[in-house]
Amino acid sequence: MFESKSGVLYVAGLGFFALAFVSNAVVPWLMYQRYPEKTAEQLVNANLRYQFEDLARRYPESFEKAFGKPPGGATEDNAWWNE
């Protein structure tokens, strides 16, 4: 098998395929197996509200077109941002 160039390339290709499988599938699985799977709602943190408020301040027209206008008043405004 190692007598020809095609045999060497075939074995090298199989080796690189195995290396890619280990690096892209097995290593991440080993790294994250002890962490529980979370839903999207569990992943949201306090920075998300800040980022949305920042987007509303920086790009008011685009934000209003995509998400609507925040209501006036402190309690209604907080409820809308926390939604």
Q: What are 23-32's pLDDT values in tens digits?
A: 999 999 999 9
Regions in the chain scoring below 70 on pLDDT: 72-74, 83
pLDDT, position 62: 92
pLDDT, position 48: 81
pLDDT, position 17: 97
Instruction: State if pTM tops 0.85.
Output: no
Closest CA to 43 of 35, 55, 31, 54: 35
Tokens 């987007």 found at: 55
What are 45-57's pLDDT values in tens digits?
778 878 888 888 8
